[in-house]
Structure 1
Amino acid sequence: MNLRSKLSNPYLVFTIIYLFMIVVAFFLDSPYEILNGLKNIILTPDILITDYIEIGGVGATLVNAALTSLICTFILIKLKIKANGSTIIALWLMTGFSFFGKNLLNIWPIMIGVALFARYQKQPLLNYSLVMMLSTTLAPTSSQLSFVSDNIFVSLACGSILGIFIGFILSPIATHCISAHGGFNLYNIGFASGLLATLVMSAFRSFGINFEARLIWDKDNTLILSILLIIICIYLIIIGFYIGNNNINNLKSLVKHPGRLVSDFYILYGGTAYINMGLVGIFSTLYISILGSDINGPIIAGIMTIMGFGAFGKHLKNIIPVMLGATLAAIIYPEPVYSPSLSLAILFSTCLAPISGKFGYKIGILAGILHVFLVMNVGYLHGGLNLYNNGLAGGLVAMILIPLITTFKKDVKKDEV
């Protein structure tokens, strides 16, 4: 098998990135610093916003992200799941959010819960593998409860049981949520998880359990992390040109897609999807840097989420209007546009890229504006337990906006939505 054939396997392409991250980690920090940092990451509650780079250092965070991603890659290979756009986003969200919120310990209860649901349904686990990985957005629910008691064994048991239960019931909720927003919110699991986390947090508050909002935000590693992101993006672009066919024409066709669920760019265009991932990654990194934001764990999660969906619905044509709208809203918001919450909202607002792709840039800008207004206020509902907070806000925006568009926009037929 020649090199080109080997690199046609996304699992190998991404494994090279994960191994690269580990190598970089040991260049930046000593083994002791990395091990100590991993311990701090695992033993720290993870509700929004908890930047692992600030908690454990750059090296430990890179190792945490690489190892959790390698574990998920191994699971996908073991289950003999052929790579496609949806497996790519599952891996990239796991990688990105392992910079803030997901770690080697807290992902397991949720994943076990989904696995038990698959057994309850008497279906193979491969049918639920993607939900199993994406549902780890609620990993902080498990880890947060693990730190509420002085008795560590009782706390871990309670946290694990809650995590397993949440994983068990999330799949059917997510399946039905997609009809609520009509596929115009790419973060469907985030929407479903936000609703479930709101219910869980409401129950906690009823018993007097509340979690204080937190903001742990690294400001000291922007340069090295920016370089790391750009290198990964350039690598993907090179791989895409190397293994892809008819790339320029494919890119022209790709950007004509609205991006509405399900838009699998990898299945449709093969290696060209890597080029798109690299392009949206470079654009997002430069855009957020121009706004003056720090590049750290949460920001990397936002950029890597955009990159992952570069294989499954996002491209420059449909994300730019939404990001511009989100930026306009951020400018008039009382906080600075480069503040943590607004920076993340601008990046994650691209969950509504299909609205821009389907209805044009003006509606896309409006969607971005509404997203920021909403996302800045929904975090309280779930108390920071849902890492994909913007998925909840995006789902609500789509639920409100799509009916209005189909009612008042004359050139849109309702049966097309």
Structure 2
Amino acid sequence: MKLMKRLYPDLPHGERYMFLYIIAVIEILFAFVLNSPLEIVNGLYRIMHSPSTLISDYFAIANPGAAFMNSGLLLILGLGISRRAKKELSGPIVAAYLTLAGFSFFGKNLYNSWAVPLGVYIYSKYEKDSFANNIVFALFGTTLSPLTSVITFGLGLPLPVGILFGNLAGIVAGMMIPPLASEFSKFHQGFNMYNIGFTAGIIGMVFMGMLRGLGFDSPPQSFIGSGYNIQMGIFIITISNVMLFIGLSRCSWSLDGFRRILDSPGRGTDFIAIGGFGAVLINMAIMSIIATAYVLLVGGQLNGPIMGGIFTIAGFSASGKHPRNTVPVLAGVFIATTLHINDTNSTGALLAALFGTTLAPISGYYGWFYGIIAGFAHMSVVSNIGYVHGGVNLYNNGFSGGFVAAVMVPLIEALKGNKTGLVK
């Protein structure tokens, strides 16, 4: 801790930042356990030259070591943005960083993840607003990173032309995210945690519509790895135990803060403010184990996209997700997958389950029964919505979740006798 203060004396909430830096370092070190330095370098090259649309598993495109290196480096570089902006590390910011790290296993990389944040920065300057106030938009907005990669590498354009127009598209998309995200949150009334995923789905739909009108389309991607359950299981269990130990010690071995988190419905919530950072670490550890257990119990593979889902659940365990409001949604998705043509243990079905927990506030606010229905409905919608944005929106489940929440919440309110269908 003293070393961190000497290196980064301007950092607020230093312990929280130190925790995320430690995760990044562990990822980088783990990369060398998985693959040789040469394999990692060659893998990073393949990752950065990939169109990176859904589903582009960097484990399969390159190798697990390169994917972990990509994730660790992006997390460190991303943390530098908050350090320069002097942004306090709240629950939503923790969620944003672990989501960034998670999607760096399948879609975000060292090339394509800069244009959108630059666009948000330009928007901030245009509005004469502090970039720190918009940093959440910049971090979550990297969901549109594949837009840059698709135009650069996936349309057959000369490379200089692709680089130019790919990055311009990312910058323009980044400028669109802050004003649109603020308005679109009213559409689902905050019951979809991945609001920027919904926003990015609309933006991606517009860009893909224009590209298709010009005769272009995103190349289909289906790179999915398998056979890494032991290595990834050891990694998750180790990280979870570390989080649990640190969290319990920070809470003086009390679960009072964690109980306060469990009592929250999870809608627009900062769990750090509610229970403290130690309680958040406990919640993150438990939620990571629950997510991993679900994947393994149904016979799934811990590949790049699934690791991204687990990282994202861990991140949002600081900002809305906990066992009480998440398990019903998982149950609803599971029931739906048993009735769908897709296998319950397929990567697509597992992603719908893990990321479908974006609807956890419905469960937390209205009860477990409606959480199950939300999960069931989500599985049906998310399976049919990815085409409209051509896979350039990595938070496809956030896009789906926005529509599910927008339909369900007014109906639930009507059933409860609230004729306006609006939630305060």
* TM value normalised by structure 2: 0.95
CA contact (8 A) 2:53 2:394 kept: yes
Taking structure 1 as reference, are residues 308 and 333 closer, same or farther at Cα in structure 2, changes over 3 Å only?
same
User: Alpha-carbon deviations, 1:132-179, whole Å to 9, x = none?
Assistant: 111000000111000223411011111011111111111100010111
Code of the residue aligned with 2:140 in structure 1: it is L
2:63 is aligned to 57
1:83 is aligned to 89
Residue of structure 2 aligned with 1:125, choices 95, 112, 131: 131
2:169 is aligned to 162
Code of the residue aligned with 1:322 in structure 2: it is V
User: Alpha-carbon deviations, 1:342-393, whole Å to 9, x = none?
Assistant: 1100111100000000111110000000000000000011111100000010
Q: Give 1:223-234 correspondences, 5 Å limit.
A: 223-234=230-241
The alignment of Structure 1 onto Structure 2 pairs a total of residues equal to 416
Q: CA deviation at 1:3?
A: 10
1:13 is aligned to 19
**Distance in 2, Cα, partners of 1:293 & 1:41:** 24
Query: Which range is displaced more, 306-315 or 21-30?
Result: 21-30
Residue of structure 1 aligned with 2:116, choices 110, 118, 123: 110
Q: CA deviation at 1:315?
A: 0.2
Say yes or no: does 1:73 pair with 2:79. yes
Query: Which range is displaced more, 358-367 or 217-226?
Result: 217-226
RMSD: 1.9
Q: Give 1:344-359 correspondences, 5 Å limit.
A: 344-359=351-366
Q: CA deviation at 1:247?
A: 3.4
CA contact (8 A) 1:100 1:298 kept: yes
1:209 is aligned to 216
1:93 is aligned to 99
1:304 is aligned to 311
Q: CA deviation at 1:25?
A: 1.1
Say yes or no: does 1:134 pair with 2:168. no
Q: CA deviation at 1:14?
A: 1.4
**Distance in 2, Cα, partners of 1:368 & 1:308:** 20
**Distance in 2, Cα, partners of 1:170 & 1:8:** 29
Residue of structure 2 aligned with 1:192, choices 184, 193, 199: 199
Q: Give 1:257-276 correspondences, 5 Å limit.
A: 257-261=264-268, 263-270=269-276, 271-276=278-283
Say yes or no: does 1:381 pair with 2:388. yes
Deviation >3 Å, runs of 4+: 1-8, 410-417
Q: CA deviation at 1:212?
A: 3.4
**Distance in 2, Cα, partners of 1:412 & 1:280:** 36
Query: Which range is displaced more, 246-255 or 35-44?
Result: 246-255
SS in 2 for 1:78: helix
Q: CA deviation at 1:36?
A: 0.6
1:144 is aligned to 150
Q: CA deviation at 1:28?
A: 2.1
Q: CA deviation at 1:244?
A: 2.4
Taking structure 1 as reference, are residues 324 and 120 closer, same or farther at Cα in structure 2, changes over 3 Å only?
same
Say yes or no: does 1:332 pair with 2:344. no
1:183 is aligned to 190
CA contact (8 A) 2:247 2:281 kept: yes
Q: CA deviation at 1:415?
A: 6.1
Q: CA deviation at 1:5?
A: 10
Taking structure 1 as reference, are residues 414 and 165 closer, same or farther at Cα in structure 2, changes over 3 Å only?
closer
CA contact (8 A) 2:413 2:422 kept: no
Unaligned runs of 5+ in 1: none
Unaligned runs of 5+ in 2: 7-12
SS in 1 for 2:412: helix
CA contact (8 A) 1:15 1:70 kept: yes
CA contact (8 A) 2:48 2:112 kept: yes
SS in 2 for 1:284: helix
Code of the residue aligned with 1:205 in structure 2: it is R
Identity %: 36
Code of the residue aligned with 1:78 in structure 2: it is R
Code of the residue aligned with 1:325 in structure 2: it is G
Say yes or no: does 1:252 pair with 2:252. no
Q: CA deviation at 1:287?
A: 0.9
Query: Which range is displaced more, 287-296 or 199-208?
Result: 199-208
Say yes or no: does 1:221 pair with 2:221. no
SS in 2 for 1:254: helix
* TM value normalised by structure 1: 0.96
SS in 1 for 2:373: helix
Residue of structure 1 aligned with 2:35, choices 26, 29, 50: 29
Q: CA deviation at 1:412?
A: 10
2:9 is aligned to none
CA contact (8 A) 2:413 2:421 kept: yes
SS in 2 for 1:36: helix
Residue of structure 1 aligned with 2:327, choices 320, 332, 335: 320
